[in-house]
Amino acid sequence: MTNEELVNYFDVQLFLPDIQAKTKDELFEEIIDQFVKVKYFKNKNIILEMLHQRERLGSTGIGKKIAIPHGRSTSASDILIAFGKSKEGIDYDAIDGKPVHLIFMIIAPPQDENNMYLPILGKMVEILNKTKNRNKLLQAETFDDFIEIISKG
Amino acid sequence: MKKKQLDLLVALQDLDMMIDEISEVKRLGFSADREEELLKARGELVSKIKKPLLYSYEKLKKRYKRAIVPVKEDNTCLGCFIRLPTSLSSIGRTDESVIYCEGCGRILYWLT
């Protein structure tokens, strides 16, 4: 998985630079509402249930202000990635106990062609492990800025 | 409100996929240590699903790995890629009954 390949999975309609949620539950609702609004899902409860189950397994707040909620859902037909940014931070129960500011929500279908879901998750972790990328993403205001950071990540 | 059986089955499959991939997700560095929590959730879900439907799900899961497949807007089964009859899709979109693909036999889930 290259950065250029990863960039193809982002969608300007799922770029949310001003997240209002203050808690994890509100965050999931806010992002999934956007998925529903742009008609990626008809039943938001199924996706919400899957995401909450994933959190039961262990927090997807990976520390350093980042959360990557993720999972496969039968109600997804393609891999979808939403990006959200919260200025104030979200109480997420992250592994370092600190608020989350950058959110990448990754939803994959049961079968995805070429099985790209896990490589995408891995690539996201790789990019977000770099301090310079995290700092740039915290400053990104437009979708173009965001894509440039990911593509060079 | 009581959940539809199909919704419960979909939630079960989503959970099963998560359980299947725990080790890969852990390898990527994610926290995923509370497998027993998912197994507990699975047990709770299973208890709400009618036995014949659960049997059918488990049998299909053994055969195909994924028992339930999404149906795309153009009425294509994403399991075997056959085009489903329009009559079937109108029932599938509105009815609460569980419908099986005429091509591969998997349980169908309409996305739209």
- Fold assignment, A14-152: Mannitol-specific EII; Chain A (3.40.930)
Give the number of C-alpha atoms closer than 13 A to the C-alpha of residue B17, restricted to the C-beta side. Answer: 27
Instruction: Find the chain A residues whose C-beta atoms sit closer than 8 A to any C-beta of B.
Output: 39, 41-43, 45-46, 49-50, 53-54, 56-60, 62, 68, 70-77, 95, 109-111, 118, 121-122, 125
Q: Do A53 and B109 touch (CB under 8 A)?
A: no
Residue with tokens 């509100």: A26
> CA of A54, closest CA in chain B: separation in Å?
7
pTM for this predicted structure: 0.93
The strand pairing partners of A16, in sequence order, are: A84
Shortest CA distance from B17: residue in chain A: A72
Torsion angle of the four alpha carbons A47, A97, A10, A34, in this order, in degrees rounded to the nearest 10: 40
CB A27 within 8 A of CB A33: no
Work out the mean pLDDT of chain B and round it to a whole number: 90
Average pLDDT for B61-67: 94
Residue with tokens 């990540």: A153
B1 touches A: beta carbon within 8 Å: no
Average pLDDT for A114-137: 94
Nearest to A57 among B38, B66, B109 (CB): B38
Contacts of A106 in chain B (CB under 8 A): none
Nearest to A77 among B21, B28, B70 (CB): B70
CB A90 within 8 A of CB A114: no
What pLDDT, on the 0 to 100 scale, is given for residue B95? Answer: 63
- Strands A61-63, A80-90: pairing is unpaired
DSSP calls for A74-133? TT-SS-EEEEEEEEEEEB---TTSPPEEEEEEEEE-SS-GGG-HHHHHHHHHHHHTSHHH
- Strands A10-16, A61-63: pairing is unpaired
What pLDDT, on the 0 to 100 scale, is given for residue A111? Answer: 76
A61 membership: H or E segment, kind and range: strand A61-63
Of 3.30.70.120, 3.30.70.260, 1.10.287.1490, 3.40.50.300, the CATH number of B5-110 is 1.10.287.1490
Nearest to B34 among A58, A71, A75 (CB): A58
CB A84 within 8 A of CB A26: no
Q: pLDDT (tens digit, 9 = 90+) per residue, B29-52?
A: 999 999 999 999 999 999 999 999
ipTM field: 0.89
Shortest CA distance from A120: residue in chain B: B28
CB A138 within 8 A of CB A120: no
Q: φ, ψ for residue A139 (rounded to 5)?
A: -95, -15
Is the Cα torsion angle A63, A121, A135, A89 positive or negative in sign? negative
Count of residues making up chain A: 153
Q: pLDDT (tens digit, 9 = 90+) per residue, A18-52?
A: 999 999 999 999 999 999 999 788 788 999 999 99
Euclidean distance between CA atoms B3 and B51, whole angstroms = 16
